[in-house]
Amino acid sequence: MVLKRPQPGDKIIFFTKRALGDKGHITIWRFDGDMRYNIEYTCPHCGKPGEKHQELEREKVSQKNPETGKRKTKKAFVIQCDSCNADIIVEQWAKSGPGKKKST
């Protein structure tokens, strides 16, 4: 399947590009009026590249912190690798920095 790459003038309503571990990365984008996301990735588990065109919804995912051993639930996109069938988890990005107000 050939993905439609963003061109100048295209209206994109969602875009993210992230590194996943040491050897993985993922780029996800969605055009205005399209219900399906374009996904281009390199699997962090097997290292093989892949691309998909599918609908996504955020799911609640429980992950264990390797340093503390505690579990934390976060919203994330879960995408299955075509090569090794492992789940690729893309957590919801939350802004943290000088523009973010801290709750008191």
Q: What is the pLDDT of residues 4-47, one digit of tens each?
A: 888 899 999 999 999 998 899 999 999 998 999 999 999 999 99
Confidence of residue 104 (pLDDT cuts 50, 70, 90): very low
For the segment 38-88, what is each residue's pLDDT rounded down to a tens digit?
999 999 999 999 999 999 999 999 888 888 888 988 899 999 999 999 999
Q: How many CA atoms lie within 13 A of 56 on its CB side?
A: 23
> Cα–Cα distances in Å, from 52 out to 43, 73, 94?
12, 26, 25
pTM: 0.80
